[in-house]
Structure 1
Amino acid sequence: MIPYEVEYVRAGSVQQALSVLAQNPDAKILAGGHTLLPMMKLRLARPALLVDIGRLPELRGIAVHQDAISIGSATTHAELEASAELKQLAPLFPLAASVIADPTVRNRGTIGGALVHADPSADWPAVVLAAGAEMEIVGEQGARRIPADEFFVGFMSSAVQPDEVLTRIHVPLPAATRVAYRKFRHPSSGYAVAAAAVAIDVVNDGYAWGRIGITGVAEAAFRATSAEALLEGNFTDIADKVDAIVDAAFVDVSPLEDNFADGAYRLALGRVMLKRALLEALEPRG
């Protein structure tokens, strides 16, 4: 497919990017490019101007604070996979990063680009939901934070407005360490036909609570809040409730359908992925 002619600006700062967006309503932010550029080649997206923020130092890197980990939106999947800090403090992130697409995509694609694009089969939405993360969004009027629960507003639609930039993802500490991410990969794209992220926190007296993020199944990633209520209680009792947790997670879910998987098959895959993730998170550890 021959790409069409498009204007290109490499922003020198977030503020410059915001200024360009404000002056050009047809502009699109370019970060890693592994979603937007293929869509442009297929004419599924036709921005008149690309504003490249992928090399801005202020949007890169992982910072550990007393009460949260801050991840720059232009941080690549590979950087998240390799991060020693995340492996120790928020292991769900490197775990999920390791199964995204292939090495080429992981080395160029960014967590922020994937989140803003909000593909219903992307990996990161389930992870940030299970992690209880907050998204920091900046516009010309200032910055605002949105919980992951409110970030994914519909099919391929996020809370980021056309004149705004997602700058950082904030993961609260201490993060859950009993985590798992299970995914059924589409054989062609590597996206999730169905996937489940599970994060269970256990305090000293054995009391547990947790979050569940589901992606690939519905028109947007979602938290299985009804199922999460069953994660609360004594940690040793959760294993006896796994089937009930899985049942509760998919009540009233309207599944996506396509040529690869009809609705019933996609729901069945979602159930299997969640059960496997729960059992993995509950495995005894020496």
Structure 2
Amino acid sequence: MKPVDFELHRPETLTEAVDLLAAHGDDGKVLAGGQSLVPLLNFRLARPGHLIDLGRIASLSALQRTEDGLSIGAMVTHAQAGRSPAVATAAPLMAAAIPFIAHEAIRARGTIGGSIAHADPAAELPAVARALDAELVVLGPGGVRRIPAEDFFVANLVTALRPDELLARVEILPAGPATGGAFDEIGRRRGDFALVGAGAQISLADDGTIRDARLCLTGVASTPHRAAEAEAVLVGRAPTAACLKEAASVTRQTVTPTADLHATADYRRDVAGTLLERAVQKAADRAAATSTTSDEGRRAS
């Protein structure tokens, strides 16, 4: 199929883009990387009369470390973020999750902002944003709003964005020292939407105990899920096998996935615990390796 006829707009500034959204209201759609919207257009599940392409707005493609942490423009592609040393050090969970997003061709076009604004609970980056307490900076006729990720995701494919607002950038506080990230998921085929996914960003204290744990799950709720109960199990304890199994058990007890054609609720619940256990172990191992490398560097100097 082909999309219905629409008028394409290509603003060069954020102000132009916001004015276009305000002018066209519900009949306007923002085009970022297009990896989610274009299929919807082709199947006529979305029928906007006006398409607002953000590709010419240079400020939306900025990715940089700031005094406050990491700032990622909405038009930064998955591939760009995946190659960025700033993302690898400031948000190791995001760096670990990006290779699981679809396929290489999709990552070359898909954008950070587009994925987060689409708010698919099976997608990797909305869950990562939730775990890392990202702040979503949005722009509309009323000016700038800053929305915590906790409040941004409202329901399946629904966010706190108003019809006349667009997501400008994602801001993340930087990870502390001795921090590692890991992500794992299971799907019918590599690159398909995952049935369940789990991510972990673990920071270790000097004594080897877990100083900070940030855990997320995909495919277990109508919004990206932060596994707060499992985080509480881990913080202040050494990442032993028993501790990780307890966190996995708590996860299975607290998530309430639904069944569909692809998997039962019980299957998703069990796999969520297993994947979370694996992700925490890998993230803790990477945090320990980072800590060891830093100690060796200090001794050498």
Q: Return the offset for 1:240.
A: 2.5
- What is aligned with 2:224? 221
Shift of 1:253: 2.8
Judged with a 3 Å threshold, the aligned counterparts in structure 2 of structure 1 residues 55 and 190 are, in CA distance, closer, same or farther, namely farther
Q: Deviations over 1:194-218 (max 9, x none)?
A: 1111111223344512111111221
- Given that residues 219 and 256 in structure 1 are in contact (C-alpha distance below 8 angstroms), is that contact kept between their aligned partners in structure 2? no
TM-score when normalising by structure 1: 0.93
Higher helix share: 2
CA contact (8 A) 2:64 2:71 kept: yes
C-alpha distance in 2, partners of 1:67/1:12? 27
> Using a 3 Å threshold, how does the CA distance of structure 1 residues 152 and 34 change in structure 2: closer, same or farther?
same
Stretch deviating more after TM superposition (37-46 or 248-257): 248-257
Distance in structure 2 (CA, Å) of the matches to 1:250 and 1:268: 6
Describe the superposition over 1:122-166 as per-residue Cα deviations: whole angstroms up to 9, x where unpaired: 110121122221111111111121221111111111111111111
How much identity, in percent, do the aligned residues show? Answer: 36
Asked if the contact 1:55–1:74 (Cα under 8 Å) also holds between the matched residues in 2, the reply is no
Q: Aligned equivalents of 1:94 and 1:54: distance in 2?
A: 23
CA change 1:276–1:259 in 2 (3 A) is same
Equivalent residue letter for 1:262? T
State the AA in 2 paired with 1:79: Q
Aligned to 1:9: 9
> Residue type of the partner of 2:255?
V
Deviating more after overlay: 256-265 vs 112-121: 256-265
Supply the distance in 2 between the matched residues of 1:257 and 1:11 (Cα, whole angstroms): 42
Change beyond 3 A, Cα 1:120–1:237: closer
Q: Distance in 1 between matches of 2:41 and 2:190?
A: 19
Q: Residues 191-202 of structure 1: matches in 2 within 5 Å?
A: 191-202=193-204
* Structure 1 counterpart of 2:79: 78
Give the paired residue count: 285
How far residue 189 of structure 1 moved from its aligned partner, in angstroms, is 5.7
1:29 match: secondary structure = strand
Spell out, residue by residue over 1:23-64, the C-alpha distance to the aligned partner (whole angstroms, 9 max, x if none).
112101100001011011112211121111133111112111
**Deviation string, structure 1 residues 92-114 (Cα, Å, up to 9, x no partner):** 22221122111110010001011
Say which SS state the counterpart of residue 171 (structure 2) adopts. Answer: strand
Q: Give the deviation of 1:91 after TM superposition.
A: 2.0
Partner of 2:153: 152
1:172-187 alignment, distance < 5 Å: 172-175=173-176, 177-187=179-189
Give the secondary structure class of the aligned counterpart of 2:195.
strand
Whether contact under 8 Å (1:77, 1:108) holds in the other structure is yes
Amino acid at match of 2:61: R
Q: What CA distance in whole angstroms lies between the structure 1 residues aligned with 2:165 and 2:9?
A: 16
Cα shift at 1:178: 1.9
User: Aligned pair in 2 of structure 1 residues 270, 55: CA closer, same or farther (>3 Å)?
Assistant: farther
**AA aligned opposite 1:264:** D
SS in 2 for 1:246: helix
Q: Which residue number in structure 2 is paired with residue 274 of structure 1? A: 276
Contact 2:186 2:197 in 1 (8 A): yes
Structure 1 residue 77: Cα displacement = 0.3
Structure 2 contact 239–281 (Cα < 8 Å) conserved: no
- Larger Rg computed on CA atoms: 2
Give structure 1 regions of 4+ aligned residues with deviation exceeding 6 angstroms: none
- Which position in structure 2 is the counterpart of 1:209? 212
Give the direction of change, closer, same or farther, for the CA distance of 1:280–1:213 in structure 2 (3 Å limit).
same
Unaligned segments of structure 2, at least 5 residues: 293-301
What SS is found at the alignment partner of 1:178?
strand
SS at match of 2:253: coil
- The runs of 5 or more residues in structure 1 that have no matched partner are none
The CA deviation at 1:169 is 0.7
Structure 2 CA distance for partners of 1:246 and 1:13, relative to 1, 3 Å: same
